[in-house]
Structure 1
């Protein structure tokens, strides 16, 4: 049974590093969550390392710029690992060929910036669907549109046998009070239609490998048993932690706030029911990171 805690400090001394989700945990898609920022700052002052591990399809430089806009201070974290960077690395290794159709908004165009850390990367060209060797999905063109509007393009891609690289496995996020679809929802629909979707963000292994590399680059060879994963996605943050052998702190007041009846803290009965339904049992739960 998950243990409901009142603050990160109750358990933080057991861990040398945190892998912390962003959306719904550190910010709400509009602005920083002050209690979360304060908790991370306090943890770092005690010598802990904070790696922000996000399913954002953006390169880490773009996420860092976004964090400034959201007023998340730089002293709240040490490094950033993004699904976008993990997926970009795969794209430039040629997992969906070199002629790709970008399924996503134009604001995600930085995804295709040159990647200088690979030797002999594949030259990537963005082309129309009819000329593509594969799809790179960074999200729906309209994140609030009916998912059925995605189907015609996906049927055309399926007919050509194209693989879909998913740059963000999240299904939904909440931007303030507005819920939006993410690339993971598109990839899920494509897979259900019989297509092949490739994932590189949480809960899949590549992004955790990237997060460990970011950690090790800081000079910290920390064992998995001394890392805590924090986030509000039961199928991403918590499942990823479980699959990687990393303890997790579930933020019930994010995506599952309604199901867990979380205001300040979750209702214990509602939380238990939700976790049983999701067949998940994170070691720790808190309403909001603080």
Structure 2
């Protein structure tokens, strides 16, 4: 498809070219507090027209609690066929640490990530790896972990990041995620391991769920990725080999002036570093 010269009027303009969608969740379907109802409607109508939707999110918990979160927000199951999380992909990675001691960073709500993995939580001084689901609180910044990172680096501990997102929108503010801490650790020479977007494990899982939902195998040319992050969604789409519909009105909203009809070149220039084939963009997903 040609490079967009302006905002895409709606998902309907692309739907006939793509029978399957891999859609981001936080920043596309909701903002962490409430749904973006136009996006929910768009996905419902796309599925009513025969399309298949798998939600693909860097949430650090396995899928069941995220299903519950979406239910509690009022996002109907009619909006999607399946859901794959970074937590799902990270659990497969953590199997390599079964029976060992790890240090952790992240809120207690993410403890479900570790269920049944036979891991022991310990101090930075005794751990064999550090598992980061997110920062401990939404008010934390990576700088708050400077002293801990120095210990991890001195012991050459790998940091396993269950949420590669650097930031997300939460209501009307932007908060740091696990990926920001992973970046800071890499900056001082630390080793980082991730399985969520933009890395292959989460896409391999998502493609399997998509094939099951559709009852057939989808070629990459038939799959449209929808996301709001250059770093995770756009890079992930490029590496997985699928086209991208970019949502400008989330974490990149300020730099793009997303809700005031930014020039297509400004959006293209931002996304171009990912090498993604962007076939459309819009501030919020609409039908």
**TM-score normalised to the size of structure 2?**
0.93
Matched, 1:23 2:26: yes
* 2:247 matched residue in structure 1: 251
| Residue among 84, 88, 91 paired with 2:87 | 84
CA displacement at 1:145 relative to structure 2? 2.4
Q: Secondary structure at the match of 1:22?
A: coil
Change in CA separation of 1:147 and 1:93 when aligned onto 2, cut-off 3 Å: closer
* Rounded Cα–Cα distance in structure 1 between residues aligned with 2:128 and 2:239: 31
* Rounded Cα–Cα distance in structure 1 between residues aligned with 2:239 and 2:274: 15
* 2:16 matched residue in structure 1: 13
Change in CA separation of 1:34 and 1:63 when aligned onto 2, cut-off 3 Å: same
| Residue among 277, 284, 288 paired with 2:280 | 284
* Rounded Cα–Cα distance in structure 2 between residues aligned with 1:209 and 1:276: 24
Contact 2:42-2:285 within 8 A present in 1 as well: yes
* 1:113 matched residue in structure 2: 115
* Rounded Cα–Cα distance in structure 2 between residues aligned with 1:151 and 1:279: 33
**1:41-80 correspondence runs (5 A):** 41-80=44-83
* Rounded Cα–Cα distance in structure 1 between residues aligned with 2:24 and 2:260: 19
- Unaligned ranges ≥5, structure 2: none
* 1:230 matched residue in structure 2: 226
Contact 1:252-1:266 within 8 A present in 2 as well: no
- The count of residues paired between Structure 1 and Structure 2 equals 282
CA displacement at 1:141 relative to structure 2? 1.1
* 1:100 matched residue in structure 2: 102
Provide the aligned C-alpha RMSD in A.
1.8
* 1:192 matched residue in structure 2: 187
Contact 2:238-2:275 within 8 A present in 1 as well: no
Matched, 1:157 2:160: no
Change in CA separation of 1:264 and 1:54 when aligned onto 2, cut-off 3 Å: farther
* Rounded Cα–Cα distance in structure 1 between residues aligned with 2:46 and 2:260: 21
Contact 1:144-1:179 within 8 A present in 2 as well: no
Change in CA separation of 1:40 and 1:265 when aligned onto 2, cut-off 3 Å: farther
Matched, 1:178 2:189: no
CA displacement at 1:2 relative to structure 2? 3.4
* 1:117 matched residue in structure 2: none
Matched, 1:2 2:7: no
* Rounded Cα–Cα distance in structure 1 between residues aligned with 2:139 and 2:169: 11
- What stretches of structure 1 move > 3 A for 4+ residues in a row? 264-270, 272-281
* Rounded Cα–Cα distance in structure 1 between residues aligned with 2:124 and 2:242: 40
Contact 1:51-1:81 within 8 A present in 2 as well: yes
Q: Secondary structure at the match of 2:255?
A: coil
* Rounded Cα–Cα distance in structure 1 between residues aligned with 2:172 and 2:162: 24
Contact 1:265-1:286 within 8 A present in 2 as well: no
